[in-house]
Structure 1
């Protein structure tokens, strides 16, 4: 049987995840904007979604590859 993590470790993990969520929110919002812009220019919903998803993946990859 596994012992549960100490409460302080869980609190640290929760803080890290909250910071990650806050860091990612602008990227998700921008991807939504990319999709909306493409739709407004007459792209099909499927094509706009695919292009926005590709942009989102590249943006996330770029974020993780940045050196502090």
Structure 2
């Protein structure tokens, strides 16, 4: 009368994506921490907050692109 429950493939894919995103957030935490440290270090060296933020942001962007591309 009742068949076996088969999970919706879309729900399974959503769960996999969610898990992968949470894993990636954890993996990238040291990279974000390094960018924050770089910004604070530059400010401590006398750089303006705006320039320190821009420089750390540029480094972070290049680093994330490199990681996403697999450092080809």
TM-score range for the pair, normalised by the shorter chain length: 0.7 to 0.9
Residue 56 (str. 1) matches residue 60 (str. 2): yes
Alpha-carbon displacement from aligned partner over 1:3-34 (angstroms, at most 9, x marks no partner): x9732222111111111111211111100000
The number of aligned residues is 63
Task: Return 5+ residue gaps in structure 1 as ranges.
Answer: none
Residues 55-64 or 45-54, more deviating: 55-64
TM (norm. structure 2) is: 0.78
Q: Say which one has the larger Rg.
A: 2
Query: Residue 35 of structure 2 is aligned with which of 31, 34, 43?
Result: 31
Please report the RMSD computed on the Cα atoms of aligned residues, expressed in angstroms. 1.5
Post-superposition offset of 1:38: 0.1
Task: Considering Cα pairs closer than 8 Å and 6+ residues apart, tell me whether 1 or 2 has the greater RCO.
Answer: 1
TM-score after normalising by structure 1: 0.82
Give the SS at the match of 2:25: helix
